[in-house]
């Protein structure tokens, strides 16, 4: 089924996170549509990169790899140009900053006819002086620019000076996994899923959770994920007297079981390009409390499928936690509405359809 035009996807991979999970879902489905898709992975020999490679190859997608020694590696760049000249793809589709910078420059040098670039997330480095100018300069080498949410496109416009309307919007998608199990726990259990880094908002969540427990002493919180902030978060849990009510689950995969063991899923991010955790919770019929930033506002309908709160503020988050955790009937209704919205608007099929259409249109214009 993959005898059509060659499409090479390029990304620097260190592990399986949001963009990698997106590729694991999208690329096999593009091959099913007849696109001859290959993955070219830049890497620094991280174990997580090879985990991704095995997962992708198990899904029938061929993968090649080029190691990079530093952020700017002339040898890797030359190898990439040579690879593209040998393979002669019809489309080069880049992801994330390293993939975009290496890929669009090399793709231009190798005269790849159609070049795509997808922006996936909020990053602190985007606010560095002159980064926006450099990023816009590199991005100008792409024929089609994609953002994974309208909120991310607005962020790139505000922070880096992009024309937000120039982006095609292609949301991530989700595959339904049977009927979700209703929440039947006796505890009032919250779940937060995400890499433990500052932008994910764990600190404000813990402070809001500590305040909420003064009204709901039986409230508990599970935190799934790992990251460099974990020691500090564990220390904060002890400082706030939450050792008996907060559990650190570590890396959890698949996440659906942890979602079904929770009553409410909380996404307190300070920046979120899309918000895949929120979508996964909605698909499992769980209400979502989320920061009203980036793509989260496109997923969660405030008062219908969950509650939106200002990012970085503990008191509104506390109020939302208390409201949903103390009203199981409301939480259940919002969860059911969230599942309907996930199935109506955010299936993987729609993401694949949109990508397929953009590819065909770009090739027609390049012909």
CA–CA separation, 336 vs 296, rounded Å? 18
- Report residue 223: phi and psi, to 5°: -120, 115
CA separation, residue 13 to residues 7, 35, 99, 109, 193 (Å) = 18, 22, 9, 23, 20
The rounded Cα 353 to chain-centroid distance in angstroms is 19
Output the pTM of the full model. Answer: 0.92
User: pLDDT (tens digit, 9 = 90+) per residue, 312-361?
Assistant: 999 999 999 999 999 999 999 999 999 999 999 999 999 999 999 999 99
Contact residues for 280 (Cβ-Cβ < 8 A; gap 6+) = 174, 193, 255, 256, 259
96: left (phi over 0), alpha (psi -120 to 50) or beta: left
Neighbours of 365 (CB within 10 A): 10
In the sheet where 6-12 sits, what is the strand order?
63-67, 36-43, 6-12, 91-95, 114-119, 144-147, 168-169
CA–CA separation, 92 vs 82, rounded Å? 14
CA–CA separation, 266 vs 59, rounded Å? 31
Q: Which residues pair with 302 in a beta bridge?
A: 306
Q: Which of these, 220, 226, 185, lies nearest to 206 by C-alpha position?
A: 220
Per-residue confidence (pLDDT) for residue 4, from 0 to 100? 79
> Which 3 state secondary structure label does DSSP give 329?
helix
Give the CA count within 13 Å in the CB-facing half-sphere of 204: 24
The residue with tokens 């019809």 is 90
CA–CA separation, 169 vs 273, rounded Å? 11
Handedness of CA 148, 78, 48, 359 (dihedral sign): positive
- Kindly report, as residue ranges, where domains of CATH 3.40.50.2000 are found in the chain: 6-173+347-366, 188-345
CATH number of 6-173+347-366: 3.40.50.2000
Could you tell me if 9 and 38 are in contact, meaning their C-beta atoms sit under 8 angstroms apart?
yes
- Residue 185 is encoded by which pair of tokens? 């726990």
Q: Which of these, 150, 154, 185, lies nearest to 169 by C-alpha position?
A: 150
With a cut of 50, which residues of the chain have pLDDT below it? 1
CATH number of 188-345: 3.40.50.2000
CA–CA separation, 3 vs 138, rounded Å? 31
95: left (phi over 0), alpha (psi -120 to 50) or beta: beta
Per-residue confidence (pLDDT) for residue 2, from 0 to 100? 52
- CA end-to-end span of the chain: 23
């Amino acid at each position: 089924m993959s005898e059509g035009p060659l499409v090479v996807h390029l990304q620097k991979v260190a592990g399986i996170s949001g963009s990698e999970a997106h590729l694991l879902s999208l690329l096999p489905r593009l091959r099913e549509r007849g696109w001859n898709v290959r993955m070219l992975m830049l890497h620094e020999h991280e174990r997580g990169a090879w985990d991704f490679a095995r997962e992708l190859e198990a899904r029938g997608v061929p993968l090649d790899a080029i190691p990079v020694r530093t952020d700017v590696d002339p040898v890797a760049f030359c190898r990439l140009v040579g690879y593209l000249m040998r393979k002669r793809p019809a489309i080069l589709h880049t992801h994330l900053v390293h993939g975009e910078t290496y890929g669009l420059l090399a793709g231009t040098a190798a005269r790849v006819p159609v070049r795509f670039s997808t922006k996936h997330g909020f990053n602190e480095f985007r606010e560095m002086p002159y980064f926006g100018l450099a990023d816009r300069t590199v991005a100008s080498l792409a024929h089609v620019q994609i953002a994974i949410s309208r909120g991310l496109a607005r962020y790139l416009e505000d922070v880096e000076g992009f024309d937000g309307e120039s982006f095609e919007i292609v949301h991530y998608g989700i595959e339904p996994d049977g009927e979700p199990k209703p929440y039947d726990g006796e505890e009032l259990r919250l779940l937060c899923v995400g890499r433990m880094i500052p932008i994910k908002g764990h600190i404000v969540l813990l402070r809001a959770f500590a305040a909420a427990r003064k009204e709901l002493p039986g409230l508990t919180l599970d935190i799934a994920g790992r990251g460099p902030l974990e020691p500090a978060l564990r220390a904060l849990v002890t400082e706030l007297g939450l050792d008996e009510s907060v559990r650190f689950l570590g890396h959890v995969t698949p996440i659906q079981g942890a979602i079904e063991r929770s009553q409410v899923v909380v996404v307190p991010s300070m920046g979120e390009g899309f918000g895949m955790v929120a979508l996964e919770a909605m698909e499992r019929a769980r209400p979502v409390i989320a920061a009203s930033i980036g793509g989260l506002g496109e997923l969660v309908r405030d008062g219908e499928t969950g509650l939106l709160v200002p990012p970085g503020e503990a008191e509104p988050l506390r109020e939302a936690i208390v409201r949903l955790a103390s009203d199981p009937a409301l939480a259940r209704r919002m969860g059911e509405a969230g599942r309907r919205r996930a199935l109506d608007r955010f299936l993987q099929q729609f993401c694949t359809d949109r990508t397929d259409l953009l590819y065909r249109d770009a090739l027609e214009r390049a012909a």
